[in-house]
Amino acid sequence: MLSCDGGPLGRMWLPATWTDRAGVEQPTKLTYEVLVELAAVMVAIGGRGR
């Protein structure tokens, strides 16, 4: 697991296999499109109860 700073949304954890940091070669790497989707989910979750 890799710890990533999400700025005002806080810290998040990503499996190393989602990135190019994993020891085992994966068929695809984490793309910016996936990060955009992740950011949208974090905003949606963070907006609840406020």
Mind listing the pLDDT tens digit for each residue in 3-44?
778 788 788 888 877 777 666 665 777 788 888 888 888 888
> How far apart are the C-alpha atoms of 10 and 29, rounded to whole Å?
23
Q: Using alpha carbons only, how large is the chain's radius of gyration in Å?
A: 12
- Contact, 24 vs 43, CB < 8 A? no
| pLDDT over 50 at 50, yes or no | no
Give me the pLDDT at residue 22, please: 63
Give me the pLDDT at residue 38, please: 83
| pLDDT over 60 at 48, yes or no | no
DSSP state of 29: -
